[in-house]
Amino acid sequence: MSELFSPIRIGPLDLPNRIAIAPMCQYSAIHGDANDWHLVHLGSLAMSGASVLVLEATAVEEIGRITHHCLGLYNDDNEAAFARIMGFCRKHGSARIGIQLAHAGRKASSQVPWQGGRALGPDGDPWQTVSASAIPFADDWHTPSEATEADLDRIVDAFAATTRRAARQGIDLVEVHAAHGYLLHQFLSPLSNKRTDAYGGSLENRMRFPLRVFDAVKAVAPDTMAVGARITGSDWIEGGIDVEEAVAFASELKARGCHYIDVTSGGVALGAKIAIGPGYQVPFAAEIRRRVDIPVWAVGLIVTPHQAEAIVASGEADMIALARTVLDDPHWAWNAAQVLGAEVARPLQYQRAAPNLWPGAAYKHEPALKAAE
């Protein structure tokens, strides 16, 4: 039996398999509002056979967006736009729906990637950003203001308010984004946090604000909602976060009722020397799973069904979260099920293409086709 297609429980959620679709920014929203692009994109992935679909990094306040075109859930218009998307996904999809709650901090007010991904210039309608310290992300980037106590209180309240909006929309899972160099990661990393108050210096202090945010989210999330966190396993820069600090942060999250940890790495500063290769971030997930004993999601160049199966079967992670892999193949889970001899949910309209009804399914994979020839 395939381990990848075995059931698992994450907090209050019973999931039929170990495949999640990771958050993937689409840079296609208008004033934070989801639109037809999100309907098609998310609607398709909700029907992909994955057990969980986590929506892209979603800003909890307007200045927390990465770009002018990032998704938001901080006002009534945003929520109304979400309702249409969620209605479709729930009606036609089989995946449980999650959302990644995010604030970009000093990496906000930037261009969309296909326009360069740099800080917005004066003609790009930039805005003042906020961070742990008044340190720009990189040369030629704007300098953020150092967050005041009033800023911190406002942002904590914003995370809680967005969680309430998500709950009203029937979202099953929220993931607090504390990685990829965004605001909570900026507090955690000594590379970006040079504060001398209770939020800077020691790891205990650097964790203080991200844990405040998590506690606020957890406090308002209904019992039916899973609450997780995406954290970094390494900054990949000397003097930055390493796996020991990641383990300590994961332990604190577990103690506060976190249901799972999604482990990634990098993004807090330019110049990191990242050893990219198949499954390159899986060891961070494996170490946290071993030492913290919490359900862990692994990410990072997980591409083939057998690779994903091996990660779960070996105990390195409880689930795998796919991003660009499913942009390349939105039906990855269907194909993986066929390769691994498992079953997966398909929409009624597509079931006639399932292996038990469509002879062509046997010839999709090159070895089988060559054998037939």
Which pair of structure tokens corresponds to residue 301? Answer: 């160049």
HEC secondary structure over 70-126: CCECCCHHHHHHHHHHHHHHHHHCCCEEEEEEECCHHHCCECCHHHCCCECCHHHCC
Q: What is the pTM of this model?
A: 0.95
Measured CA to CA in angstroms, residue 290 lies from 6, 250, 287 at distances of 20, 12, 5
- Predicted confidence (pLDDT) per residue in 227-257, tens digit: 999 999 999 999 999 999 999 999 999 999 9
Mean pLDDT value of segment 127-155:
97
Beta-carbon count within 10 A of 28 CB? 16
To the nearest whole number, what is the mean pLDDT of the chain? 95
Burial of 295 from C-beta contacts in 10 A (0-12 / 13-18 / 19+): buried
Which residues pair with residue 13 across a beta bridge? 10
Q: Which residues pair with 200 in a beta bridge?
A: none
Instruction: Compute the distance between CA of residue 247 and CA of residue 108 in angstroms, rounded to an integer.
Output: 28
Strands 173-178 and 130-131 turn out to be unpaired
Tokens of 100: 């990644």
pLDDT bucket at 367, cuts 50 / 70 / 90: low
HSE-up (13 A, CA, CB side) for residue 100 = 30
What distance in Å separates the CA atoms of residue 168 and residue 224, rounded to the nearest whole number?
Answer: 12
Name the DSSP letter for residue 200: S
pLDDT over threshold 80, residue 373: no
**For 8-342, CATH number?**
3.20.20.70
* Domain range summary for the chain, segments of one domain joined by +: 8-342
For 274-331, write each residue's pLDDT tens digit. Answer: 989 999 999 999 999 999 999 999 999 999 999 999 999 999 999 999 999 999 999 9
pLDDT tens-digit map of 197-215: 999 999 999 999 999 999 9
Q: What are phi and psi of 271, to 5 degrees?
A: 95, 0
Q: Give me 110's structure tokens.
A: 């930037």
The per-residue pLDDT for 371 is 46
pLDDT for residue 200: 98
Partners of residue 21 on adjacent β-strands: 53, 322
pLDDT of residue 24: 97
**Mean pLDDT, rounded, for 41-65:** 97
What residues are labeled active site? 182
pLDDT digits (tens, 9 = 90+) for 19-47: 999 999 999 999 999 999 999 999 999 99
Which pLDDT score, from 0 to 100, does residue 372 have?
A: 43
Render the burial of 188-220: b for 16+ CB within 10 Å, e for the rest: bbbbbbebeeebbeeeebbbbbbbbbbebbbeb
Tokens of 130: 């906020």
